[in-house]
Chains A and B, each alone.
Chain A
Amino acid sequence: MVHFLFQRSWQFLISLLGITLLTFVLIHLAPGEPTDLQTTLNPKVSAQARENLRRLYGLDRPLPVQYLDWLRRFATLDLGRSFVDGEPVSEKIWGRLPITVTINLLSLTVIVLIAFPIGILSATRQGSWFDKATTLFVYVGFALPSFWLALLLMLLFSVSLGWLPLSGYQSLSAAQMAPLERLIDWGRHLVLPVLTASLIGLAGYSRYLRSEMLEVIRQDYIRTARAKGLSERQVVYKHALRNALIPIVTLMGLELPALIGGSVIIETIFAIPGMGQLSYQAVLARDYPVVMGLTMFGAVLTLAGNFLADLSYAWINPRVRLS
């Protein structure tokens, strides 16, 4: 296990270094400079001022030097300052993180609560009407653009029925509300974003669990479990499900980038001031330290997710460690 841990940590570091290099090169290869917005678009800025600005941000130095410098600061968690308001990028991200994490954790909970029973039932009753209905539902889920689903839910629950607020994450009058009232108000604002995110994620997870279950149920040890007279319930939940869940752990690690990408769309539609909205605004403003910082943050999160998934996978399944 120690050897495995060491090996994976090493890979983690190499990948991290690769990602920083790749992101840096990609952003710098593109034509146009981050100071363009402040200089070219503003005729009052003289050539001298432009040069000063470039020097201030260190853009006049050779790329490798810029990269090493950026890497050194990244190692100390200093992601630079926003071009727009001068606020440190790391503080900007930390401030936006809680709401994004909340929405994603809530949707993940909903997904697990609904997708697992669907996956198990459709696998144990393969070919039944229930299986066919959920298969149809899965195909619909895969083809549904999240932003369209969001608009349809808004049309139904906010515009037609008027049950839920259209967007934002709190009412304008939230400051005057009592704590409990405020919590309810906050919850009502989160229903549609969480519903959208979970409906989109549901299809993948239930499908994946179904095929894992089908794979496991064919194994010899399941036949053995049945042959020794265990109840079907025990066979399915104790013997089959446990083994089918192992790859789901890995899937959760791999799904992180999609989750982060999805936040951009959902937070922009529902006007929720989270990380996704921050990245969208940063892109529009060409706020390049923020874009870079967010991409790195997302990449580190993904790598950490994969790393944890690998570890827990090895923890649950000793065969991986040996090979």
Chain B
Amino acid sequence: MKNPVEVKAPEDVSREPGPARLSHKALAWRRFKRNRVALFGGLIVLAVTLVALLAPILAPYDPDGINIEEILSPPSVQHPFGTDPLGRDVLSRIIWGARVSLWVGFAAVGIAILIGMAVGALAGFYAGAIDSFLMRLVDIMLAIPTFFLILAVIAILEPSIWNIMIVIGLTGWMGVARLVRGQFLGVKEMDYVIAARALGARDFRLIVRHILPNSLSPVYVAAVLGVAGAILTESALSFLGIGVQPPKASWGSILTAGKDNIEIAWWLSVFPGLAIFVTVLGYNLLGEGLRDALDPRLKL
């Protein structure tokens, strides 16, 4: 460097050529918009959410309205998805069931994310002994067959919608913890964090204000995919009769009636499962699309 005047400022070099410089988020959104599969997933998620919100308006019948004159009637104009062994309208029960599934999905994922972020942040920030201990805990949790653990805890607590949320959340945080820890290990060494530390920021402020916001991209993806997983687990538990309890409508418990009447009422086995399938598919497609948009390097 004989002539310092000719050296460009570092920021000029790093700027991308192009019509306009876009932020990370804007670039991600641009990639997401081009991904038709992900948009389709988003559309499903939006539709299911609307159905859940508008359940009282959309449902043609009272979901709990027993009608002994129409027990197990096949799909017809009056009852497009037929009726169940108590004569209740299956379509209305599926519509109301969307509330239960989404509610459990969101709450369980919320719990899992909070625990996972706390554990991952502590492990990644402090490293050393704390890190080894917490990561060992994660390994141990991952080695316990989750479904057994959920069954065991539900057996002792009462099966209810609240307990289901809590148990799914408590057994689902390990993945998030690993992701957040990995992000923290990288981000905490960045210059701006070191600068903040030099200015005297305390650990809590460093973690919450400086490192965490830059560690969240994989957490968004994990959250969306986690909702799909939680909905699957909830419906499996309800199907086994140890999840959401009747008379509350849940997609899983309608399928139980389908199994008990499989030789005479096919519609009870088909439509609720379709609702689970479409919803889970929507969240999975949205989550995958989000992952590709936020981190295009991962796309294969």
Residues on A close to B: CB < 8 A? 14-15, 18-19, 22-23, 26-27, 30-32, 139-140, 142-148, 151-152, 154-155, 159, 166, 210-211, 214-215, 254, 256-258, 260-262, 264-265, 268-269, 279-280, 282-284, 286, 288, 291-292, 294-295, 298-299, 302-303, 306
Which of these, B137, B139, B232, contacts A145 with CB under 8 Å? B232
State in angstroms the CA–CA spacing of A30 and B159 once bound together: 12
- The reply to whether A280 and B240 form a contact with Cβ atoms under 8 Å apart is yes
B151, A298: Cβ atoms under 8 Å?
A: no
Question: Does B148 contact A145, Cβ atoms closer than 8 Å?
Answer: no
Residues of A contacting B240 in the complex (Cβ-Cβ under 8 angstroms)? 264-265, 268, 280
Q: Chain A residues with Cβ under 8 A from B269's Cβ?
A: 148, 151-152, 154-155
For A143, what are the chain B residues with a Cβ–Cβ distance below 8 Å? 228, 277-278, 280-281, 284
Contacts of B136 in A (CB 8 A): 14-15, 18
A15-B140, A151-B273, A286-B156 as given contacts; A269 in contact with B259, CB under 8 Å: yes
Contacting residue for A303 out of B143, B155, B273, B284, CB 8 A: B143
Interface, chain B (partner A; CB < 8 A)? 136-137, 139-149, 151-157, 228, 232, 235-236, 239-242, 252, 255, 258-259, 262-263, 266, 269-270, 272-273, 276-278, 280-281, 284-285, 300
Given known pairs A19-B140, A22-B140, the reply for A152 and B148 (CB within 8 Å) is no
Q: Is the interface of B mostly helix, strand, loop or mixed?
A: helix
How many Å from the CB of A47 to the closest CB on chain B? 22
Tell me the nearest residue of chain A to B154, going by C-beta: A283
* Measured CA separation A213–B32 after assembly (Å): 26
Distance from A70 Cβ to chain B, minimum over Cβ atoms (Å): 15
Q: Inside 8 A of B241's CB, which chain A residues have their CB?
A: 284
B46 vs chain A, min Cβ distance (A): 17
Bound complex: CA of A294 vs CA of B266, how far in Å? 35
| Cα distance A292–B156 in the bound complex, in angstroms | 12
The closest CB in chain B to the CB of A135 belongs to: B37
- Taking A18-B136, A147-B239, A159-B263 as contacts, is the C-beta distance between A260 and B280 under 8 angstroms? no
* Contact, CB under 8 Å: A284 / B155: yes
Q: How far is the CA of A258 from the CA of B147 in the complex (A)?
A: 8
Residues of A within 8 A of B144 (CB): 19, 22-23, 257, 295, 298-299, 302
A26, B153: Cβ atoms closer than 8 Å: yes
The residue of chain A having its C-beta at the shortest distance from the C-beta of B147 within the complex is: A261
Contacts of B155 in A (CB 8 A): 282-284, 286, 288, 291
Given contacts A144-B277, A288-B156, list 12 more A-B pairs with CB under 8 A: A18-B136, A18-B137, A27-B152, A142-B281, A143-B280, A152-B269, A159-B262, A257-B147, A264-B147, A283-B155, A286-B156, A294-B148
Q: A147-B255, A151-B273, A295-B148 are in contact. Are A214 and B300 (CB under 8 A)?
A: yes
